[in-house]
Structure 1
């Protein structure tokens, strides 16, 4: 029952609405409707392939859509060209054709890992392996060439349709997304300030996870906005100062929970935030004259309010001409360890071996209907076992849902429809379901694509009604067999597990938090925010890695349950420790500015202990450093708040220390 409850909560959370999801659904529906009408009217084959191109290219904003669209056009043209060239010299010589295709496939899978252009080589590998199945199905060379050219057409024209829909009809501009995200955060800040002024708790607390997500999303959208608009690129330093201010206001408002008696200061801060939000409506330059009033020139009492005032003051200084920044160094095409890391070659070999085993099997049993088994081996081949298992499960789940819907439509709907209108009425609800799921997070979005693809493959490949159920059966068998073979090959031959890397990543996060605590008191608040942003980014990477590690084959066995629980506890504690460390650093900076004799050296002692704990987590040292002595919680109000935060930080670190014995036992399960 607990497992079912967790699954239900997961589905509810992943399928919930969020800003932009409805727009993504509408864009995909419009593009898919146009593609269905064009393909059925002009009898363009491979409609399922055309629809999957729409889903792949349609991204969250115009910039990403254009980048992916151009990449798909180049990749598809290159892949089809290579496939035709291969057939020109090897058609009629099956062994030579398989050998040459294997070389091209192996090279594509290697460069998928070893270069920054992984998606390009992924498409090359997909097309190369797909054409081999066409050779077995089509015996005449001319028809085979036409089939390859139709593959190119079935992918290219939907990409152009998707670009038109996303650019002209329903554009999702990153600049507008960025402004909307900042306004939402400022609205939450205003709501919390209003609650504090009324002497009541806020309606909803802002959690560390929300601060993390909000900070990372603003910086990601800024990067896309700068790519989209030359004006944004020219004003990037000022725009960066703007989103830094909003992030600091959002985080500081979450830190202040107790009501504040200084109603005048709260009202001034609310006016400042309202002026800031109003300036975002049309992207105008910021004008905040209230920042220079006497109400904010004095102490505001609460450290969180001081942090908000400081964030707004820093923003006013951003109106000065920004300093010229040097050119950003471009990343090399090849990764640094492209030819020194054996895992890349082993990954290519394992993927090739799984695909060839499936190719031999479906030819040996003369079952061409399951030729997608090879594509499954390529699609679910990811660097780690956990990531491969996650994608395999999503592929199976999406295939089951899509096939069940196709079966229902074949039995109950197709006998009652006639014409393109009925076809659209039957197809669009299922495509809409797939689009809604595909617009979600990485933990579920691939299942949405599979729902749509399996449905379209069973019902939309012919230019008329179909009652053939064999396609549904063959699709299920191909997916299940491909996932099984790929999992066995990648799990038995040189498996790449992330368990040890996860613990190293967690240790690096604790080292980073220690560096944050050790910053000099006079450190610029913008630099503190930049380090905080880096910490949130690393925590986000660790969350994704933990989700993959938990799905590695054998990881959920009883001997690993304690280790999984340990990693979850460490990650949760790391979030709280990081959150509290940012707060401590800002409180300390305010205290040093008020009192020249204040040093706050106890904060650095806790940073030293955190460093020793991170080293012990990596098994580089046997024992953490002795606990530092903390001063009594006394003194003026501001200093008392800082000391209380120190005590809270020590409590969190003490909870980590209490799990040390369990950690030592669990680590033995994955360390040789």
Structure 2
């Protein structure tokens, strides 16, 4: 995973890398506006939706909410598959109905009482933002409510009328057209995407086996597929594809656990194969393999190819796999009592074949395995909702502060707009809600994109009025004249999140201008006032965000790193069997990946914060970036280690008591070391560090004596050397994490700065 946030390497590049992710503006635009097939499809979808909304708004003479509807559609994922778009549309429609009911109730109950309406609106916006932050979902409820209630609070009767129009305009026109376009224009079947992802992972593993065979002069005639590392969170995306496929194909839900286990096994196989490919030295690769080992690799390669074919053709290949992966071939190379990496790979392929066989059998009711009966009983005792307890609010205090702060900003902007009697700058109100991001740096970056997009949209609107509008007298002419601007907005929006928001604001600003009323545009001040309103909202939120509970990007990245380390500390537990991989390890892994991805994104935004250029802050970001990188690598290695222990043929219960004790002690020492690192990141100075190296040395000696590794053939002895190398890599990463955590400790950093000051005085 590349977690560079574009830190400047030299002084001349600091200014440009601060805003453009380590590149110049020209390089940034070149990268973000690049053409590729997927982007064409996404941009076409957004263009068609924008054109539909514009034409319907102008022909049916519905209330002037077309610009809001267009902004909503541009804000949704244009790359969504069929299941994802359907789920998103239904969920947002439900939120829209709730928002409409709440808006109408507020206007009827408190519309004629200004202070009561302000208080009630503040509470509603806070709850909406808190809920959105809690579930990591867009702030649609708060935005829709603000448009219906706060835009013109002095006219509650008219606002009730407009609020009731939200459902047909935003729900039917925006969400309906967005969903239908995704179902019509190049619809992406999530089940096909899921199959393609599984096949790609199997092909990557097959390529690794082919490369290893090529070391001995055996070349495959199959097309070469290059293996590559998956980014952090890629497994979560595959699980999302499974959820989307189950929405479209309900029969898949009956085998949900089997699908989960299959995806987990294939991902584990890929991780194990990639790790083996990385640790084999060039000198070792150059040594010829004996025929028994070659036969094992050939069987593994053929099994991968067969499984890939079975996935692509949706057929059961378990019988072919059982013929390929016969025990005689494996044990002619590796002794049955001697664990090995190839045995782990062999067992993984057998398990994958077995799970694929289950998928082709009639679905039966599946029962989840309970890991901790005490946990289940404790949950049963706490029958009341979690949000009744203090612990819930203490845990989510940041989300509550988030809701209070941005709701207060929206209310203040509404009061300013009403106090100035300047209703056309009411775009300041949604600006406060749209600017609600995870951290100060993210707020600032989004504000830059919002202001830039609004300015470009205003320029496009003036160009349209001066050049195209005088030539128009039909709706057809209007469609042709505005199409280039919808296309530009769609293309920019179809880019990555680093630039997509600029396209949304460009489209919204242009739509606000040309869809403000029916017929020709005569109010040329609209674009100017919109930009002024955005500036007002950004200024209000910049002051509030910095003064009231500031959420520093680096501080939040620390918290996510601490959470990831504590999740990984639980990885070291020795599981009794593979069934626990699904119920125990999978939730921990997804939690760790989510935290690491969030930490990475936060560091990318940290460079925009006011004191980002201070040497201490640069050092802090560098050290924390290293911690996140090493933690991500450690997560993969711990998963490899766990699969090796479960699949390599180890009979741990038959090992001597002394060896078992050393093994458990080593697991405990790793967990303790990660916990110490987490505590240090939180700011607690550790006087002593837990070093697992001594315990590992005793564990290694126990393995050598029990398995008589010194007497094994060279190849099998190398297998053990590789296994011990895995533990060494884990210990090295843990040590690096500890050192960087200590560098990040405020006490240590303060002592270091004090010492530097003394040296400079001397």
Q: TM-score range, shorter-chain basis? A: 0.7 to 0.9
Residue deviations 1:483-536 (CA, integer Å, cap 9, x gap): 22112113212334565554343234334334323425x642871896267335
1:75–1:120 CA contact under 8 A, matched in 2: no
Residue deviations 1:342-398 (CA, integer Å, cap 9, x gap): 666654443343223322333333432211101111222346444544443442343
1:241–1:657 CA distance, 2 compared to 1 (3 A): closer
**Which ranges in structure 1 are unaligned for 5 or more consecutive residues?**
none
Of 632, 637, 649, 2:730 maps to 649
1:469–1:503 CA distance, 2 compared to 1 (3 A): same
After TM superposition, give the deviation of residue 219 of structure 1 in Å: 1.5
Q: How does 1:28-427 map to 2 (within 5 A)?
A: 28-44=46-62, 45-56=64-75, 60-88=80-108, 93=112, 96-113=113-130, 122-123=140-141, 126-134=144-152, 146-158=161-173, 159-167=175-183, 170-199=186-215, 206-207=228-229, 210=230, 212-257=232-277, 258=280, 261=289, 262-281=293-312, 283-293=314-324, 297-298=329-330, 305-318=342-355, 319-320=357-358, 324-325=366-367, 346-382=401-437, 384-414=439-469, 419-427=474-482
Match of 1:562 in 2: 619
2:100–2:164 CA contact under 8 A, matched in 1: yes
SS of the aligned residue for 1:592 comes to coil
Q: Give the length in aligned residue pairs.
A: 660
Query: 1 CA distance for matches of 2:82 and 2:551?
Result: 35
TM-score (structure 2 length as normaliser): 0.74
2:468–2:481 CA contact under 8 A, matched in 1: yes
After TM superposition, give the deviation of residue 19 of structure 1 in Å: 8.5
SS of the aligned residue for 2:330 comes to coil
Q: How does 1:517-556 map to 2 (within 5 A)?
A: 517-519=572-574, 523-524=577-578, 527=581, 531=585, 534-535=588-589, 537-548=591-602, 550-551=605-606, 553-554=609-610, 556=612
1:71–1:120 CA contact under 8 A, matched in 2: no
2:413–2:428 CA contact under 8 A, matched in 1: yes
1:504–1:285 CA distance, 2 compared to 1 (3 A): same
1:408–1:252 CA distance, 2 compared to 1 (3 A): farther
1:603–1:646 CA contact under 8 A, matched in 2: no
TM-score (structure 1 length as normaliser): 0.83
1:244–1:529 CA contact under 8 A, matched in 2: no
2:428–2:536 CA contact under 8 A, matched in 1: yes
SS of the aligned residue for 1:206 comes to coil
Of 583, 587, 592, 2:650 maps to 592
Greater relative contact order (Cα < 8 A, sep 6+) = 2
1:255–1:304 CA contact under 8 A, matched in 2: no
User: Does 2:613 correspond to 1:613?
Assistant: no
SS of the aligned residue for 1:235 comes to helix
Query: 1 CA distance for matches of 2:35 and 2:257?
Result: 33
After TM superposition, give the deviation of residue 468 of structure 1 in Å: 5.3
After TM superposition, give the deviation of residue 410 of structure 1 in Å: 4.3
1:307–1:118 CA distance, 2 compared to 1 (3 A): closer
**Which ranges in structure 2 are unaligned for 5 or more consecutive residues?**
1-11, 371-378, 711-716, 751-762
SS of the aligned residue for 1:280 comes to helix
Query: 1 CA distance for matches of 2:249 and 2:194?
Result: 13
1:194–1:626 CA distance, 2 compared to 1 (3 A): closer
Query: 1 CA distance for matches of 2:161 and 2:272?
Result: 62
The farther-off stretch of 299-308 and 24-33 is 299-308
1:323–1:621 CA distance, 2 compared to 1 (3 A): farther
SS of the aligned residue for 2:228 comes to coil
Query: 2 CA distance for matches of 1:584 and 1:491?
Result: 44
Query: 1 CA distance for matches of 2:226 and 2:131?
Result: 46
After TM superposition, give the deviation of residue 142 of structure 1 in Å: 7.2
1:12–1:334 CA distance, 2 compared to 1 (3 A): farther
1:216–1:537 CA contact under 8 A, matched in 2: no
2:554–2:621 CA contact under 8 A, matched in 1: no
Query: 2 CA distance for matches of 1:656 and 1:124?
Result: 40
User: How much is the aligned-residue C-alpha RMSD, in angstroms?
Assistant: 4.1
